[in-house]
Amino acid sequence: MSKFKKKKGGELPVISTASLPDIVFMLLFFFMVATVMRDSTLMVKNKLPAADQIQKLDKKDRVMYIYAGEPSPRYTDKYGSQPRIQLNDKFSTVSEVAAFVLAERATKRQELQNVLTTSLKVDGDTKMGLITDIKQELRKVNALKINYTTRIGDYTQNRD
């Protein structure tokens, strides 16, 4: 009788999957914590330009977002391919920006109303004309703090 008896047959040892749920839960919690739900679905192309001299945006309740860019492929039939402004969930014209800012401001708490920042999320290929128009509208309603939201990266990435 040998002590080193060969195990029977070529059966593979069963791998215990008992810790699998733990691993999956770990990942799950990570994504649950990291997820930020978007308030509005993007309807425009939104490849932000890159910059490296950046500052972090304020807390979320002090920021309002204005998106601009070419309409996404599924909206081009209806809205064409000229860059448009998106406010909340719909395409807007420049003249609606002021009303949007005032409406957004009214929904915020009193003490925050003077410290609001407008975050401009504009596609890199947009022409400055549209952005200048937005800025003029913002000046009219005294929303002077703006933030050109960008990706983090070297400016050389903006060439292509």
Q: Which stretch binds another protein (CB under 8 A): 6-14, 73-81, 90-98, 128-136?
A: 128-136
84 vs 132: CA distance, rounded Å: 13
Under the binding rule (CB under 8 A), the answer on residue 96 touching another protein is no
Q: Write down the least CB distance from residue 5 to another protein, Å.
A: 33
Under the binding rule (CB under 8 A), the answer on residue 88 touching another protein is no
Under the binding rule (CB under 8 A), the answer on residue 27 touching another protein is yes
Q: Write down the least CB distance from residue 49 to another protein, Å.
A: 4
53 vs 47: CA distance, rounded Å: 18
81 vs 79: CA distance, rounded Å: 7
Tokens 């309409």 -> residue: 71
Restricting to residues 44-73, name those near another protein by CB under 8 A: 48-57, 60
CA distances from 5 to 1, 2, 9 (A): 8, 6, 12
> Nearer to another protein by C-beta: 47 or 90?
47
Under the binding rule (CB under 8 A), the answer on residue 14 touching another protein is no
Q: Which of 130, 100, 133, 106 is nearest to 118 (CA)?
A: 100
**Residue 100 per-residue DSSP state:** H
Angle (CA) 69-72-73 rounded to 5° is: 140
Total of chain residues touching another protein, rule CB under 8 A: 57
Binding site residues, another protein, CB under 8 A: 17, 20-21, 24-25, 27-28, 31-32, 34-38, 48-57, 60, 117, 119-129, 131-132, 135, 138-140, 142-152, 155, 158-159
